[in-house]
Amino acid sequence: MLSYQTTASQRAFTFLGLLGILLLFASGVGQSLAVPSSVLTGSALSLIALAILGYTYASYAPYNSGVKNNANAIKSLTQRGVWAYVSALALTAFYVVLYFFDAYLEPMIRGFDSISQSLSGKPATQWFVYGALYTLAILLFGVKFIVKYRHSRYQVIRTLSVMFFQLIFAFLLPEFMARLNGDLPYYDLKSMWPLNYYLFDGYYIESFVSAQSLGIGLLLFGVLSIFVISPILTYKFGKRWYCSWVCGCGGLAETAGDAFRHLSDNSIRSWKLERWMIHSILVLITLSTVGVVHSYLLEHPEDYWISPSVFILTVVSLLVAVIALIYFKRRAWIAKEAKTAMIIVGVLLAGFTGMHFLSDTYHVFLIPSHSLRSVYGFFVGSIFSGVIGTGFYPLLGNRVWCRFGCPMAAILGLQQKLFSKFQITTNSGQCISCGNCSAYCEMGIDVRAYAQKAEPIKRASCVGCGICAEVCPRGVLRLENTANPNIQA
């Protein structure tokens, strides 16, 4: 096979970028050289920005717009070659240090103090640094993505949206809110349960409550998002309104992860694994959230009008109501998915019952409630979403977390499957089975399997990125909000 040659300017900008990264981590060393660390950090970030924008220019500007995936299946970095392993290792190492050995990052963190001071009035923390780098990545690679897909208005608008939500909602607003009201915990308005699974944690609720009306307002908004706003939007537009237009994890995957989307495994086997994982995580997160609220209520019997048992009963009735609704409205689906549905409901009901009898103030199922939280936080919040989810982009594709681990995607996916007007329509018999759509679907959906049978694609995991429709050389696929939500199995 041919060895793909990058151009000299692409190589030069890559080198520049690596230099910038090196400088960033070395910025602590600068202090001993009496160079202000903020100057070093500033230059490092500028170098990185220059590198990404320059690389974009070198790669796409000489060509007219159109789908440009040349050599993706050949290049070492994008086809699991040496460079892919090197970058996966480096990214993973960064996450491990960030989560568990942040002391090593101390000098680098200090380099961000002046930026942090100007936003929130507080010195930088490791999470501020992470947030800043994350946002920068989405913005810069967002520009790259927009240039690459500049012929498609859907892609351009969607990417601008992702960049906007990351910069304003995830990064700037929480910092400003912290300046306005020091008691307020970090709150990303666009992030909702179960993504911010800590929303209902005792300490979190308390700090909201102590932040008075703004805090209570935010808490109410959080609850409203889950039960009202999100289902309505998903009904109208599919889960894409969140996963590929708003979400930060999705934002990074779409922009920085764009070069790796074809690595997502689209075998039937991985689809099976995906369903197992996503359903288990859904059950786990529901149980542990209910458990935490339950023990919080046990702890504060006087403060709230709702008693722990009434709370559990309410949750159970909600569950029953949802199941009944699905049974009456989507019988065909239930018939097909009966086993899965029964297992999920069974485990949940058993869980709630167990909770009622086996929990006290500090224990859920006889397990200390905070250890349950921290175990989830560790395995799902840190290891999965960070280390594997982002660190393994060059090996497993850019949406591993979204596909196998994200509880939010699981809930939205269920909604998408059961009641949404969103689907990907196939243009009758036009498919030539070339495989571009399946290869470039970051969620590992075998789009071609549907397209070559002239069937519409209505899959729970589809995040509506629209790339399948973009890479299809025959214009076979179209994302639409006009499907009849009733006819589907």
Tell me which residue of 59, 27, 90, 458 sits closest to 240, measured CA to CA.
458
Q: Does 67 sit near other proteins (CB under 8 A)?
A: yes
For residues 404 and 277, is the Cβ–Cβ distance under 8 A?
yes
Q: What string marks each residue from 153 to 192 as x (binds other proteins by CB under 8 A) or -? A: xx--x-----------------------------------
Find the shortest distance in angstroms from Cβ 262 to other proteins.
Answer: 8
Residues numbered 245 to 274 that lie near other proteins (CB under 8 A) are 262, 267-268
* Closer CB to other proteins, 79 or 225, in the complex: 79
* Closer CB to other proteins, 130 or 241, in the complex: 241
Residues within the interface to ligand SF4 (CB under 6 A):
424, 431-437, 441-443, 445, 447-448, 451, 457, 462-468, 472, 474, 476-477
Find the shortest distance in angstroms from Cβ 215 to ligand SF4.
Answer: 36
For residues 147 and 56, is the Cβ–Cβ distance under 8 A?
yes
CA angle 318, 321, 322 (to 5 degrees): 90
Burial class for 450, CB neighbours closer than 10 Å (0-12, 13-18, 19+):
buried
Find the shortest distance in angstroms from Cβ 286 to other proteins.
Answer: 33
* Closer CB to other proteins, 67 or 483, in the complex: 67
Instruction: Name the binder of 267 from ligand SF4, other proteins, none, CB < 5-8 A by kind.
Output: other proteins
Instruction: Name the binder of 70 from other proteins, ligand SF4, none, CB < 5-8 A by kind.
Output: other proteins
| SS3 at position 478 | strand
Residues numbered 437 to 466 that lie near other proteins (CB under 8 A) are 438-439, 446, 448, 452, 466
The total number of residues written for the chain in this structure: 489
* Closer CB to other proteins, 168 or 432, in the complex: 432
* Closer CB to ligand SF4, 108 or 445, in the complex: 445
* Interface stretch with other proteins, choices 137-145, 277-285, 330-338, 474-482 (CB under 8 A): 474-482
Tell me which residue of 283, 285, 254 sits closest to 443, measured CA to CA.
254
Q: Of the candidates 46, 65, 212, 307, which one interacts with other proteins according to CB under 8 A?
A: 65
* Closer CB to ligand SF4, 364 or 443, in the complex: 443
Instruction: Name the binder of 64 from ligand SF4, other proteins, none, CB < 5-8 A by kind.
Output: other proteins
* CA separation for the pair 212, 82 (Å, rounded): 54
* CA separation for the pair 168, 190 (Å, rounded): 10
Q: Does 37 sit near other proteins (CB under 8 A)?
A: no
* Interface stretch with other proteins, choices 40-48, 146-154, 212-220, 397-405 (CB under 8 A): 146-154
Burial class for 285, CB neighbours closer than 10 Å (0-12, 13-18, 19+):
buried
Find the shortest distance in angstroms from Cβ 262 to ligand SF4.
Answer: 10
* Residues 69-84 as b or e (16 or more Cβ within 10 Å = b): beebeebebbbeeeeb
Give every CB contact of residue 412 below 8 A, 6+ residues apart in sequence: 230, 234, 239, 242, 243
Give every CB contact of residue 151 below 8 A, 6+ residues apart in sequence: 65, 66
Find the shortest distance in angstroms from Cβ 114 to ligand SF4.
Answer: 40
Q: Of the candidates 6, 69, 207, 382, which one interacts with other proteins according to CB under 8 A?
A: 69
Q: Does 320 sit near other proteins (CB under 8 A)?
A: no
Give every CB contact of residue 242 below 8 A, 6+ residues apart in sequence: 230, 233, 234, 250, 408, 412
Q: Look up residue 5 and give its two tokens.
A: 């040659």
Instruction: Name the binder of 485 from ligand SF4, other proteins, none, CB < 5-8 A by kind.
Output: none
Give every CB contact of residue 147 below 8 A, 6+ residues apart in sequence: 56, 57, 60, 61
* Closer CB to ligand SF4, 199 or 253, in the complex: 253
Q: Of the candidates 162, 436, 442, 447, which one interacts with other proteins according to CB under 8 A?
A: 436
Indicate if the alpha-carbon torsion angle 405, 408, 410, 413 is positive or negative: negative
Which residues bind to other proteins, rule: CB under 8 A?
A: 1-2, 4-5, 64-67, 69-75, 79, 151-154, 157, 262, 267-268, 427-430, 432-436, 438-439, 446, 448, 452, 466, 469-471, 473-475, 478-479
